Amino acid sequence: MTSRIRPLLGASLSCLAATAVAANMPPAPDAPQGDAFDVIHGVRVADPLRWLENWDNPWVQAWSDAQNERTRAYLDALPGRDAIKAELMRLIAATSPAFSGLQVRGTRMFALYFDPIFQQPMLVVLSSATDPASSTTVLDPNRLDPSGHTAIDWYAASPDGARIAVSLSLNGSEDGTLHVYEVATGKEIGAPIPRVQYPTAGGSVAWTADSKAFWYTRFPGDDAPEADRHFFQQAYFHVIGSDAAADPMVLGTKDGVPRTGEIFLDNTNGLRDVLASVQLGDGGEWQHWVLKAGGGFLQVARYDDRIVAATMGPDGALFGISRKAAPNGKVLKLAAPYAGGFAAARTIVPEGDKAIVSEGQQHALALTNQHLIVRDIVGGPSQVRVFDHDGGHSSRIDLPPVSAVDEVEPLANGDMLYGVSTYTRPRYYAKWDAHTGVSSETKLTVTSPISFVDCVVQREFAVSKDGTHVPVNIIVKKGTKPDGTHPVLLYGYGGYGVNMTPAFLGAMRRLWIEAGGIYAVANIRGGAEYGERWHVEGNLTHKQNVFDDFEAAALHMIDAGYTTHDRLALMGASNGGLLMGAMVTQHPALARTVVSAVGIYDMVRVELDPNGSFNTTEFGTVKDPDQFRALYAYSPYHHVQAGTAYPSILMMTGATDGRVNPLHSRKMAAALQAATGSGQLILLRTDRKSGHGQGSSLATRIEEQADELSFLFDQIGMHWSAAQADAAKAPSE
């Protein structure tokens, strides 16, 4: 495909409002260029803004605060921001409560329950799994902390349903402390256990069969060196009523868990033993262990066995997804006592032409008392297959077009619940009947004034530089003509084997479409939408394919007549923020404006951060000459060029982010502000009470969306009026 990029129009007529607002803004704070540099494999790598890495320096905090003041001076003065925020609040508040994170224990079901009149999801129990009216609250973080800044990281209900173990953290930090509560009374049992969860390796709990004890993850304590605090996660065993300080370590470094090991514990069926799955960093390499109830353990898979997801069935048999000589995955079964481990397991579902989903690890495979449920991904959308426990009697579950099944929970009677998501309908749960094989919708569904009945989902394909066909999901109002006049917001991610599956677009995207925009999501490489091949073609030294795919998706939106370069907006977060940085530095004239949240931009020094070390299995390490060359070749921070006409950019980060260090956003924003020759705004927004996004309060998320949408509208020349708000309340068929 030939690129037909033309220069942007600087401050075009459509952006007069932005120019007027910008004229009253304070200037960007001074960011002096230092002389820091590294020599890596003989290459001198300059780092003139390294001083901005030190958050303990009061001058750096003052610089960040000045950036915030400048950004707020712009955003708060935009004439449509208050109306946009009010409409987001109205639409979200009028949406019905939603359930997620289901855990069935006997005849009862636990769930996270989010009611948009509150800031945080709460934990509830339903006496009837499909009847929302049967729910009662077990734990409400909104009562624990009325500020809305305490969040549930995760929870685990005991097999008898009498107790719950919950990780709670503050200000989006995901730095979790474990609390145990009685379900019947809400009373806390024992003292909280600190350091059970952190963004580097996460955290996990698995109860014993008698519900009197549990295995759990824990990071080193305050007596450990500072450099080790967020590494060396290990598994411990705790008996209710005992002193956690004396808990024995049952699996850790001495047993082969690496420094960047991420431990996931699973005893969904309440058996005597528990499965411990250990990922090597974030790159998708796993080892698996069976921890014995009486002590001791047995390793059942090593990294080279390529068992990328495993779970323990109701009878104790192990089921695993293998990618060894099977990039699309196959399902293996290993009966107790697990002789020979997964290397000796038999294949019960062979590799097919569709990729088996392993994302989510513990919940990739689901087992009822008689059936095995396998989720496949077909370029983004899902298909679901049902087998018996030996891989026989295969059938398919009917799903809506372009939809995804993101959660499967077996019920005690052999039926199962599964969550269905589409771009245009709020998520709902359906129940599959084990006797009839028929599915029916349950009352566990979300109703909302946010409607997309006036829209269609078009799935088209862009052609990347190497000829790869890349899916692009385009959500557009019916009857929209491809005349090149429409604003387009294109979203991408492309990493870690994370799949961009259909998900309800919600209030923010509704406002974008109502104002005349088109929304699109690209299924670029780096994800696993077409299996492990799709992932590995976009990681390590192949990361440039991710950027080429996204550029191709953007050019497809232009070449197909949907938009033009100066009506195109790009958006991404986290690894998708890296994607935005690469788009800005490699193709500065591709889009009119960019929103990049919690992004990674300095690929040379990212592995010095705790979570950056976990990411080396995905991105590579500068210690390897070939990987260093690849990292340095695309590292956005190192490719900011003075005098380049960069698009307008809103960069967003959170001060408590333990996944991506906010220093990346500080350095990148300062570099772009000093270099840009376009006169377009480069803004940095840092939230002192949020992190990577997980655990943020509803108010925080609405403020973020209002800022993002207001910025995009102003930069593209779009408007939000009372008439559009009225139209958005009830889109016509």
Assess whether 103 and 68 both reside in one domain. Answer: no
Could you please report the per-residue DSSP string of 411-427? -TTS-EEEEEEESSS--
- The Cα-based distances of 164 to 101, 214, 215, 393 in angstroms read 14, 11, 13, 37
Structure token pair of residue 698: 């509803």
Cα separation, 510 vs 248, in Å, equals 52
Q: Where does the pLDDT of residue 304 fall: very low under 50, low under 70, confident under 90, or very high at 90 and above?
A: very high
Do 130 and 177 fall into the same domain? yes
Question: pLDDT (tens digit, 9 = 90+) per residue, 380-401?
Answer: 999 999 999 999 999 999 999 9
> Do 511 and 597 sit in the same domain of this protein?
yes
Residues 26, 117 within the same domain: no
**What is residue 198's three-state secondary structure?**
strand
pLDDT in tens, 106-144: 999 999 999 999 999 999 999 999 999 999 999 999 999
Residue 16: is its pLDDT beyond 60? Answer: no
- Flag whether pLDDT at 3 surpasses 60: no
Angle, helices 58-75 vs 698-716, to 10°: value is 60
Q: Could you please report the per-residue DSSP string of 627-659?
A: HHHHHHHH-GGGG--TT--PPEEEEEEETT-SS
Bridge partners for 712 per DSSP: none
Question: Is residue 549 located within the same domain as residue 675?
Answer: yes
Lookup: tokens for 136: 């009662």
Residue 723 has pLDDT above 90, yes or no: no
The amino acid at residue 125 is V
Q: For residue 425, is it within any domain?
A: no
The whole-number average pLDDT for the span 7-14 is: 34
The mean per-residue pLDDT over the stretch 27-49 comes to: 97
| pLDDT reading at 250 higher than 80 | yes
The residue ranking higher by pLDDT, 362 or 70, is: 70
User: 224 pLDDT band (50/70/90 cuts)?
Assistant: confident
30 and 132 together in one domain: no
Q: Tell me what pLDDT residue 19 has.
A: 52
Q: What is the mean pLDDT of residues 256-274?
A: 94
pLDDT value at 458 more than 60 = yes
CATH of the domain at 167: 2.130.10.120
pLDDT for position 4: 32
Residue 462 has pLDDT above 80, yes or no: yes
- In a domain, residue 485? The reply is yes
| pLDDT of amino acid 222 | 81
Does residue 13 carry a pLDDT above 50? no
338 burial level (CB within 10 Å; 0-12, 13-18, 19+): buried
How open is the CA angle 607-615-53, to the nearest 5 degrees? 35
At residue 294 the predicted structure's pLDDT band, cuts being 50, 70 and 90, is: confident
Q: Is residue 413 part of a domain?
A: no
Looking at residue 728, its pLDDT comes to 55
- Give the 3-state DSSP-derived string for 251-308, with helices as H, strands as E and coil as C: ECHHHCCCCCEEEEEECCCCCCCEEEEEEECCCCCEEEEEECCCCCEEEEECHHHCEE
When mean pLDDT is compared across 112-126, 302-316, 612-626, 712-726, the lowest value belongs to 712-726
CATH, residue 502: 3.40.50.1820
Question: Quick check: 725 pLDDT over 80?
Answer: no
| Domain range enclosing 109 | 99-268+283-304
Distances (CA, A) of 185 to 104, 136, 159, 163, 274: 19, 11, 17, 10, 28
Domain contains 352: no
Q: What burial letters (b/e) apply to 115-153, b meaning 16+ CB within 10 Å?
A: bbebbbbbbbbbeebbebeebeebbbbbeebeebbbbbb
Facing residues of 44 across strands?
Answer: 39
Question: Cα(335)–Cα(143) distance, rounded to whole angstroms?
Answer: 46
The share of the chain scoring above pLDDT 70, in percent, equals 95
Q: What is the average per-residue pLDDT within 702-715?
A: 97
Averaged pLDDT, 142-170: 96
Closest Cα to residue 441, out of 451, 449, 430, 450? 430
Place of tokens 């540099």: 37
Residue 459 C-alpha from the chain's centroid:
22
Residue 703 has φ and ψ, to the nearest 5°, of: -60, -45
pLDDT at 12: 39
pLDDT per position as a tens digit, 558-608:
999 999 999 999 999 999 999 999 999 999 999 999 999 999 999 999 999
Containing 477, the helix (H) or strand (E) segment is strand 469-477
Is 315 inside a domain boundary? no
Top pLDDT among 695 and 405 is at 405
Q: Looking at the structure, do residues 73 and 110 belong to the same domain, yes or no?
A: no
480 and 617 both lie in a single domain = yes
Residue 233 tokens read as 């996660």
Torsion-angle region of residue 695: left (phi > 0), alpha (psi -120 to 50) or beta?
A: left
Residue partners of 58: CB distance under 8 A and separation at least 6 = none
> Are residue 109 and residue 51 in the same domain, yes or no?
no
- Give the distance, in angstroms, between the CA of residue 251 and the centroid of all CA atoms in the same chain: 28
The count of structural domains within the chain is 2
**Residues 550 and 658 occupy one common structural domain:** yes
Q: Are 165 and 81 found together in one domain?
A: no
Q: 446 CB contacts (<8 Å, ≥6 apart)?
A: 95, 96, 97, 98, 426, 427, 428, 504
The residue among 18 and 55 whose pLDDT is bigger is 55
Residue 196 scores a pLDDT above 60: yes
Classify residue 445: in a domain, yes or no.
Answer: no
Per the CB < 8 A criterion, the answer to whether 176 and 198 are in contact is yes
Q: Is omega for the bond preceding 26 within 30 degrees of 0, making it cis?
A: no
Number of H helices, E strands in the chain: 14, 39
Say if CB 213 and CB 248 are below 8 A apart: no
Mean pLDDT of 230-249: 96
Residues 549 and 693 in one domain: yes
Beta-strand (E) ranges in 302-402? 307-312, 318-322, 330-334, 346-349, 355-356, 365-367, 371-377, 382-388, 395-397
Query: What is the reported pLDDT for 114?
Result: 96
Whether residue 474 contacts residue 458, with contact meaning beta carbons closer than 8 Å, is answered with: yes
Cβ-defined contacts of 437-440 (< 8 Å, 24+): 437/386, 437/395, 439/397, 439/398
Instruction: Specify the pLDDT at position 15.
Output: 46
Say whether pLDDT at 2 is over 60.
Answer: no
633 domain-assigned: yes
- Whether 363 maps to a domain, the answer reads no
Write out the two tokens for 540. 């390590």
Mean pLDDT of the chain: 93
- DSSP SS3 for 232: coil
